[in-house]
Amino acid sequence: MGFMQWLGFNPRDNPDFRNNVRDSGTTFFFGRSNSGEKVDEKTAMQIATVYACVRLLADSVAQIPLHLYKWDGEDRSVKATEHPLYKILYRQANPEMTSFSFMEMIMVQLLLWGNAYAQIVRDGKNGILGLYPLPPENVEVDRDESGKLYYIYHAYTNDVPGETNRDIYFRREEILHIPGLSFNGLVGFSPIAMMKNPLGATISVEKYGAAFFRNNGQPIGVLMHPESVKNPDRLREDWKRIYSGVDNAHNVAILEEGMSYKPISLPPEDSQFLSTREFDVETICSIFRVPPHMVQFLKRSTFNNIEHQSIDFVVHTLDPWLIRIEKAIVKDLLLEEEKDIYYPKFNVDGLLRGAVEDRMRAYSAAISSGIISINEARQKENLPPLPPEQGGDYHIVNGSNVQLKDVGIVYLQKASQESQEEPKKDQPKPEQPEKEEKEAKEEEPKESKRHAERKRQRKAERKGE
């Protein structure tokens, strides 16, 4: 028994346990912002920067190949092409939707609603036959009396032929649910609903600009008459008909009976209209964590920092989304006995590929370090593999690399070996007895002949005396 249980507290008695799925972003309903503009997913997508950010993120994630891998028991992973989920993730989510379209739809739902839902259709052996998306605005998450999650799909449109206004209940095992950023980790909140005030301000600025150009690019003003006007509505309509609109721009106004025109609103240059629009672009990019240059806002971008911003986009913007999707696939699409064997993985190498020279330098370093083989590097460049007899599958490493603790051993052994082979300078060279003995034998006959000749000469000299 834990300390909290000893005090009489039971986590299962928490009153928010069964209703914690309702404490998510659904409480931040779409509606009017402080600017008075209505903000929802449709009006938000009419903002150019929101549309550009959503399309960029959705297309970027959808174009990354998603494979299912399997551990082969030797700490190596191979593509699990035999698993029915492989072709659903990589090729076709259902008979009517490719994997690209499906993943693009998943990202649009996450970016606008904060949740993505898809119905899982299985066969009798729990094999997955297809994934069918569900509109997140029609899906509700709740708990039953035992605390298990279930999903309610409100089919208020003609989703089911011949049936309308019908609620369809799904068990947790029948739904692929990818939640976005949330307060409870179960149901994500809508980014558009949370950011409705800055988005509403952006909509107001765009409406102001449209009204300004609809009015010939002139500020709103007042027609002033020295006397009372009998029919002001007619005068106002005549003025708008003759001088309002782009087609009537630059018409010369003719004022009668002493009337005058006085503007009462600030022109765009005085109200910093363009600066406000630029600020809105940067604000929306910060909401979606998109570098401004990727939505064609190049005011503060240079040739030197664009490459680093692109890498930062992959690492800090795309990777969290990719990991979120991968974890949800493991949670909802893999069986319990498969979760330790199979795993999905996005291949982001294509997005991180630099120039040819940079790639070749990276491949050379990876091959010489034994990280990858030559064929693995060729595969990344879409080149055919080398045959086995040419060593394309070998993992090689530079032989001069040693452990830090063994750095001096090699040089000490070499110096010791050289000292044993070189003779000492102070000692004479060893004699060569065999060679001297041979030379002595060759010189011995010459010495004996000379000695005999000298003896004869001496005898002759003695007789002469």
DSSP notation for 230-243: S-HHHHHHHHHHHH
pLDDT at 27: 46
Residue-range domain boundaries for the chain = 21-218+270-352, 221-264, 353-413
255 in Cβ contact with 225 (< 8 Å): no
Helix (H, G, I), strand (E, B) or coil at 151: strand
Average pLDDT of the chain to the nearest whole number: 77
In contact, 152 and 145? CB cutoff 8 Å? no
Mean pLDDT, residues 125-153 taken together: 91
pLDDT tier for residue 9 given thresholds of 50, 70 and 90: very low
Integer Rg of the chain from CA: 43
Query: What pLDDT does residue 68 have?
Result: 94
pLDDT value of residue 1: 47
3-state class (DSSP) for residue 319: helix
In this prediction, residue 307 has a pLDDT band, given cuts at 50, 70 and 90, of low
- pLDDT for 320 equals 94
Reported as a single tens digit per residue, the pLDDT across 276-298 is: 777 788 889 999 999 888 887 77
Neighbouring residues of 79: CB distance < 8 A, sequence distance ≥ 6: 67, 68, 69, 70, 86
Residues 26-58 as b or e (16 or more Cβ within 10 Å = b): beeebeebebebebbbebbbebbbbebbbbbbb
Helix, strand, coil share of the chain (percent; to 5): 50, 15, 35
Residues 425-447 have pLDDT tens digits of 555 555 555 555 555 555 555 55
Q: Say which residue, 71 or 87, is predicted with more confidence.
A: 87
The H or E element that residue 410 is part of is helix 409-421
User: What's the CA gap between 139 and 328, in Å, rounded?
Assistant: 17
Handedness of CA 88, 93, 98, 102 (dihedral sign): negative
State how far the Cα of 456 lies from the Cα of 459, in Å rounded to an integer. 5
- Using CA atoms, how far apart are residues 201 and 221, in angstroms rounded to an integer? 24
Which residue blocks in 99-141 are alpha helix, DSSP H? 99-112
Taking a C-beta distance cutoff of 8 angstroms, is the pair 20, 186 a contact?
yes
Which of these ranges, 147-161, 215-229, 353-367, has the smallest mean pLDDT? Answer: 215-229
Amino acid residing at 211:
A
- CA terminus-to-terminus distance, the chain: 141
Statement: residue 269 has pLDDT above 60: no
Instruction: Check residue 253 and give its pLDDT.
Output: 64
Cβ proximity of 21 and 187 under 8 Å: yes
Which of 119, 121, 120 lies closest to 134 in space, CA to CA? 119
Quote the CA–CA distance of 316 and 383 in Å, as a whole number: 30
> How many whole angstroms separate alpha carbon 456 and alpha carbon 184?
131
In sign, the C-alpha dihedral spanning 316, 317, 321, 322 is: negative
Q: Quick: pLDDT tens for 314-351.
A: 888 999 999 999 999 999 999 999 999 999 999 887 67
Per-residue model confidence as pLDDT tens digits over 361-415: 888 888 888 888 888 888 777 678 888 888 888 888 876 666 656 656 656 676 6
Q: For residue range 224-267, what is the model confidence (pLDDT) as tens digits?
A: 766 776 677 777 776 666 666 555 555 556 666 667 766 655 55
